[in-house]
Amino acid sequence: MSRSAHSARNRALLAAAAVAFAGAATAYFYFTSGPRPDSSHAAAAATPQTTIKSKRNLAVLVTQQWLEAGLPISLLLAKYPNAVLLLAPDLVDLTHPRLRDQVPASDHYRLIRCETYQGALHVLKHLRPQLALLPPADICGIGPGDLDNFVQQTELISDESVARLLAA
């Protein structure tokens, strides 16, 4: 092949590549731009019809005492879709009536069974939640200072702290 034939072939390949690139770029912008919502749809989307869910990561160490005292687990799970419940050693069995009534089977993946309080401490360190609700240190042996480097905020479980979470 002569030199001019190579040159013509290279120009044809370059032109084909440019056309393919332009077509791909046009298709990309066409499919990613999508229709824009008008103001009436945006206003409807801004007013939620259901309760507002929080994106905050929450971990609650649930003991049998707090479960029987009426800890509103179902409300916490509904309000905080990223909430995880750590079951204390006295609640390792999922057949507890209050637990069975408040946590649907579809949410059992959010329950973490801990055979010891030391194990619960290690799970909390690995989860690194934004907020950890703990029972008093004399019950579980985990104090708020034990999680300082792993959790943004630690609170003791109380009626006031749960009410504040549900109202937020």
In this structure, are residues 88 and 117 in contact, taking their beta carbons and an 8 Å threshold?
yes
User: Domain check: are 75 and 149 in the same one?
Assistant: yes
* Cα(142)–Cα(132) distance, integer angstroms: 11
Whether 97 and 142 share a structural domain: yes
In this structure, the answer to whether residues 30 and 72 fall within a common structural domain is no
Measuring CA to CA, how many Å separate 69 from each of 28, 119, 146? Answer: 57, 24, 26
Closest by Cα among 52, 86, 65 to 165: 52
> Are 83 and 153 part of one and the same domain?
yes
Q: The domain that contains 135 carries what CATH number?
A: 3.40.50.11730
Residue range 53-92, pLDDT digits in tens: 777 789 999 888 888 888 888 888 888 888 999 998 888 6
Residue 47 scores a pLDDT above 80: no
| DSSP symbols for 34-64 | -PPP-HHHHHHHHS-SSPPPP---EEEEE-H
For 17, the 3-state DSSP assignment is helix
Give the tokens for residue 1: 């092949």
Same domain, 67 and 137: yes
Model confidence band, residue 122 (pLDDT cutoffs 50, 70, 90)? very high
As given in the structure block, the two tokens for residue 63 are 């003991």
Q: Do 73 and 152 fall into the same domain?
A: yes
Same domain as 91, residue 26:
no
pLDDT for 35 beyond 70 = no
Residues 42 and 62 in one domain: no
**Residue with the larger pLDDT of the pair 139 and 108:** 108
Q: Are 82 and 57 in contact (CB under 8 A)?
A: yes
Let me know: does 82 contact 60? Beta carbons within 8 Å.
Answer: no
Q: What pLDDT does 59 receive?
A: 92
Q: Domain check: are 30 and 65 in the same one?
A: no
Tell whether 35 and 70 lie within a shared domain.
Answer: no
